[in-house]
Amino acid sequence: MLHTPKWGAGLSIVLRSLPALLTSPIVAIVAPNVLARIISPDTPFESLKVFLALPAAVQAAAFWISYVVFRTIVQHYQRRADRRRLGADVVEVPRVKMAWPWNLDLIPLAIQSRKTDYCGAPWDRFAREYGYTFNLGMFGKDQIMTFEPENIKAILSTDFNSYEKGPAFREKMKGVLGQGVFNADGDMWKFHRGMSRPYFSRDRISHFDNFARHSDVTISKILSRLNEPARLGLPAAVDFQDAVARFTLDSGTEFLFGQSVRSLEAPLPYPYEAPNDDSSSFTAAFAGAQDLMMNRLVSRDLWPWMELFSDHSKEQMKVINSYVTPILKRKLEEARARGLDSNSKATSEDTDPNGSQEAGDTLLDHLIRITDDISVIKDELINILIAARDTTAATLTFAVYILAENPQIMTKLRDEVLGRLGTSNHPTPNDFKEMKYLRALLNETLRLFPPVPINERTAMKSTVLHSGGKKYYVPAGATMPYSVLHMHRRKDLWGPDAEEFDPERWLDERLNKYLTPNPFIFLPFNAGPRICIGQQFAYNEASYFLSRLVQRVESLELVPEAHPDGTLPPSEWKSGAGRKVYEKIWPKSHLTIYSDGGLWVKMKEASPVSE
């Protein structure tokens, strides 16, 4: 029986790269033969005679070295001419110097760092040595990383048209994100953003019934678990990160699809036990897909070779699609039954800018009004779902981590919430406007633990970054990673206490001293034309959950003994430098930040108070 070959995600990329890879060895092999045919045996040049008498392998090696040197010289002068064209005072970005050729040792360094060190640790080291903008230079290519607000502002806003996600980034993410809004450029990006943006209107994201339903279920489930009789040998604790991921998944799927995945119906895991229900498989698939995308980003040009005959995203996407696709197909069939054929589709431009469609509309209903292309709709839904679930879950996880570590912050937050809402009233948008400390707490969480710590763009044309009085050359095709995680913790931008968690900095003179004159030092939701369309939704959801939590809980405490082995910070962090000396959990990131091993806590339920 013949077996159909399995083509991997990286095969087409490798095949497209072969001409460039094979040019120099082909020249090295063919050139000596051509030279031997055109050179007369009685040539007066003795050096040529000696060369042609050498073994073929030596001749090929000599030609290959000569070709590489010649090409390098030509590229050097072309690059210099391109740089000078942009200005006589434009200079190269400082290049990181590593031990291996083409800085290839950066790849194992980055991979190992993700496993054993603090989030983004290698880039801290390079910033100390080279400044806040440096060129990683892997594979001899430009990867210009920056923590400078001026540069990030240019990339995201003032020089927006010079930067895109880029073809290499899109290839890495295609297996998971498809052509959705987070993995599209140009007209495709405008189309996707135009489809989704009207749905996130102020009226719609202020409908709090969804938040109320799922937050109350989540909090009750947490407290119920903590009130159970202690299992023999197990600490009394609940994984808050897991619980809040279920909350954002259920509320997100209901908001987007009109149908919750109902992950909160499954039992919460006990310490040292992995959840094994269907909804946990869905959650694990989301995390696995993000891990894969991050591994591809870290591996750079090597990732296609690792997936020549496999697609590492296939298993995760099979689980995700098993939930999304049936809902999508059913909705499309219902739309067709109502007579919404392709001739009666709305366009993204025709959509009410306030997003006010029929009562009860979901994002899926909204998208079906615009297109019946199942692939386009599915890509957009998965993109928005990843953002809706993971960013808010990360913010809530780290906010509760801080509250557990800082009882005085918990007390102040409770005082504000109870003073405004009492112990049972549900919050409204007007309440959030008045609860300044709650917003300060969320902003401080987003500052120190931004949901997407590192992002990147690609320079589509040669341009210049203006930074610290210097003009840095950015060649066309350069990859541009930028880290808001590192920028948010810079002491020169935020003050000497930048690495400390202090919500008061959003309420006292430090706000006007640091942020007000330089707003681009705080970018948890990106900026410019691609700013997060769900920013206010995320603030509302996180604010709602925290308000309801502190109404019912008067204190929180970390339970480190409930963490799986190897997921707590190493003891040597305490004698290190930077934010890691404070940490009691291990922040890591795939596309979004998370606490390794979960966030195991116990809570003291507030005593009932008559109002």
Residue whose C-alpha is closest to residue 418's, from 388, 401, 433, 438: 438
| CA–CA distance, 338 with 502 (Å, rounded to integer) | 54
The one-letter amino acid at 570? P
User: What's the per-residue H, E or C state across 440-461?
Assistant: HHHHHHHHHCCCCCEEEEEECC
| Side chain identity at residue 455, one-letter code | N
For 581-592, letters b (16+ CB in 10 Å) and e give eebebbbbbbbb
Angstrom distances, CA of residue 448 to CA of 131, 377, 394, 434: 20, 34, 12, 24
- Annotation-wise, does 532 bind a ligand? yes
Facing residues of 595 across strands? 587
Residues with Cβ within 8 Å of 552's Cβ and at least 6 positions away in sequence, in order, are: 219, 223, 423, 605, 606
Tokens 């948008």 correspond to what residue? Answer: 429
Question: Torsions phi, psi of 587, nearest 5?
Answer: -70, 130
Buried b (16+ CB within 10 A) or exposed e, 223-257: bebbeeeeeeeebbbbbbbbbbbbbbbbbbbbbbb
All residues at 6 or more sequence positions from 326 whose CB lies less than 8 Å from its CB, including other chains: none
Spatial separation of the C-alpha atoms in residues 267 and 259, rounded to whole Å: 20
Q: Where are the alpha helices (DSSP H) in 338-435?
A: 363-368, 374-405, 407-421, 429-434
Among 391, 255, 228, 296, which residue's Cα sits nearest to residue 8? 296
Question: Is 599 within 8 Å of 401 (Cβ atoms)?
Answer: yes
Is the Cβ–Cβ distance between 385 and 256 less than 8 Å?
yes
Q: Could you tell me if 283 and 245 are in contact, meaning their C-beta atoms sit under 8 angstroms apart?
A: yes
Say how many C-beta atoms besides its own lie within 10 A of residue 127's C-beta.
19
Tell me the β-bridge partners of 593. Answer: 589
Helix (H) or strand (E) holding 594: strand 593-595
Residues 6+ apart with CB under 8 A from 92: 83, 135, 472, 473
Place of tokens 């044309």: 461
**Annotated binding-site ranges:** 532
**Annotated binding-site ranges for heme:** 532
